[in-house]
Chains A and B, each alone.
Chain A
Amino acid sequence: MVLWYATRATGVVALVLMTATVVLGVAGTARFAAPGLPRVVSAGLHRNLSLLVVGFVSLHVLTTVADSFTSIGLSSAFIPFNSDYRRLWLGLGTIAFDLLLAVTLTSLLRDRLSLRAWRAVHWVAYACWPIALWHGLGTGTDSKLSWLLALDALCVAAVAAAVCWRLSLSPAGPGRAVVLAGMALLTAATVIFVFAGPLQPGWSRRAGTPPPTFSRAASAGPRSEGR
């Protein structure tokens, strides 16, 4: 029981830290510097927070695997769509974890890689954030909780604001329009998904909870249906 709550808590904290990392990364690309936050400090924070994210996500994975309520193997932490428990939504989390590991490893080996290769992997890492957000919304049906929904909305708003600010500094062109349209589409799709999916009754079953786990959750307590 404790492990399951730890899984949820570390997952939420990891998402918030990842949001901060993305915002700092976006700010770093524009060489942002505030009076109390010089560029060296913001760049160092970006690097340290991303390592902290790896730590929290590792804890999140370990507590998930160790928890006996669902049978999620260690292989499911690395191989996407390998688990019977909410295959699609857990698979998204696996992809995000793999991307995060790729970025961390290439950043640690940055001296031995070409800047181009490192940057290519680092750009892919931006996909890690929305994938992790959708994993959290789809797998953790505790996202029905209003304060958790508010936290998710705050994360989306922070990243959207950072991207919009960054785009406002770049010259107008088709690239800017594409990124803006993509951002708007992603936000709209997330809102529609939340209202059509996790907020609807019976999401747990539709998300792919295996019948034995579902019946166990039902017998453990009426409010644990969302596990």
Chain B
Amino acid sequence: MKKMLVIQVTALLLVSGSLVGMFAFTPVYNEVRSGIVLVLCLSCLKLEPKTIANFTFETVDNQSHPSFVLENLSHGPVFLHYSGDACAGCDVMYPVVKDLFSIDFGKQDMFHTLVNFENSTVAYIYVNIHHTTDELRNAQTIYDKDRIGGIPMFTVITLGYDNGDVKPKYTTVYGTLAVYGCTTDAERLTYLTQLMKESIQMYNENSAGYPHH
């Protein structure tokens, strides 16, 4: 009886002490909140959002564009790739995007580069939601135009003309692009290539009027 009590008290102290220690000295609470609770893996949801890939000026809740996007827009369109760990949809899309821009990097890396895409410069920013900075993570909500809150998510930001001003214009697509009729990697690649071509065309038409240019 006494032996059991010692085991129980030791186990309770060990577990509760470790738990308090984790809350106090590690960012695990924020990691779980921002990486699991607030951002859903669409594969776990077993669904893909039915959205239209139209370009728009309006960000979610009219939030302003983050500075890293505005800076990169002076080079060319920006491709924001949101991915995550333990996400089957992200695993499907990851090699497709690497092929799209002919680049190589690890899935858990933070990655940012300027790539040459069909003779134009594109700023490619890879954001693994579980290994990134708050600034990059928070940008997801700005461009989550259909308020899905899920990964994988791809945002293409380019320039558009709006009532006399040249402004950032963007579109966001989600999941493995099945809703756009893409079921193979080749089809996904073709779809994203078309999207990029459209964004480059818009960029070239409007870049002269962009203040940061």
A is bound by B: no
